[in-house]
Amino acid sequence: MSEQVTATQETGSESRESAGETIMNEVLQQPPKEQAMQMQPTQTKGDQTEAGKQNTILASRSGEEATGEKSEESIQESEQKPRAPEEYVAFSVPEDIKLEGEDLIDFKSFAKEQDLTQEQAQKVLDFAGPKIKAMIEQPYREWNELQGKWQAEVKSDPEIGGTKYEQSVKEAGNVFVAGESNPFVKSDGEARSLREALNTTGAGNNPAIVRLFVKMGRLLAEPAHLRGKPAPQSRQDAILNSLYPTMGEGSS
């Protein structure tokens, strides 16, 4: 029995030794990289995730900020940033638009503040120029349209237009003839000022103004209509004279 136990123990020892040799042989026969991986501590999935998120000092942007060094991308952006010239050369402006004097100085100052290159400033003019021109021309265009509308109304007016138009214009012209018999215009200077006012404001085309001048001109063509009758005394004076007929004799 003892011999069997001894034999069994020896067999077990040999089995353990052969098993140990087999495991060690497998480890020794693996490449060094696989051996290292087996020897590393096991990481959980969370640990691996956190490790993947971490950046080294050399690879992080915070390292750049800490050392005050700019990345190559920052340097390229700085080099590509447009810079305004020391002095802008002559600009090309749209036709019928003037850019000179104070306006030119103001535009150059604006371009300088915005750090615009010559090309960029020119593009601003090319874009805004036509719009500015349209804004400037709009009130003049509307004024001309209104004048045309008024002229058409005068020429079609039943009282002074149509076949009466030419005669009406002549009659209205009497108002501008200065003289003692003209109570409206006493001198050539007044006549000239009146014409300028009517032309500048466009009122000389307004149908209501034209009708008024035609009536005034007809009155001037017949002086008798301008004489009229003496204005009557006021009612108060008439009552005083009837009550006190001799009141005004002492003052005469």
Of 114-118, 205-209, 210-214, 243-247, least confident by mean pLDDT is 243-247
Q: Rounded distance, CA 133 to CA 163, Å?
A: 41
Cα 208 to chain centroid distance, Å, stands at: 39
Q: Rounded distance, CA 157 to CA 165, Å?
A: 9
Kindly tell me the sign of the dihedral angle through the C-alpha atoms of 237, 242, 246, 247: negative
Q: Which two tokens stand for residue 174?
A: 């009497």
Per-residue pLDDT tens over the stretch 122-137: 999 888 888 888 888 8
- Is the model's pTM score more than 0.85? no
- Does residue 3 or residue 157 have the better pLDDT? 157
Q: Which two tokens stand for residue 252?
A: 């005469």
Q: Rounded distance, CA 51 to CA 23, Å?
A: 32
Q: Rounded distance, CA 152 to CA 155, Å?
A: 5
Q: Which two tokens stand for residue 105?
A: 């100085």
Q: Is the pLDDT of residue 192 over 80?
A: yes
Per-residue pLDDT tens over the stretch 58-76: 555 554 554 555 556 655 5
Of 18-22, 147-151, 218-222, least confident by mean pLDDT is 18-22
Give the length of the chain: 252
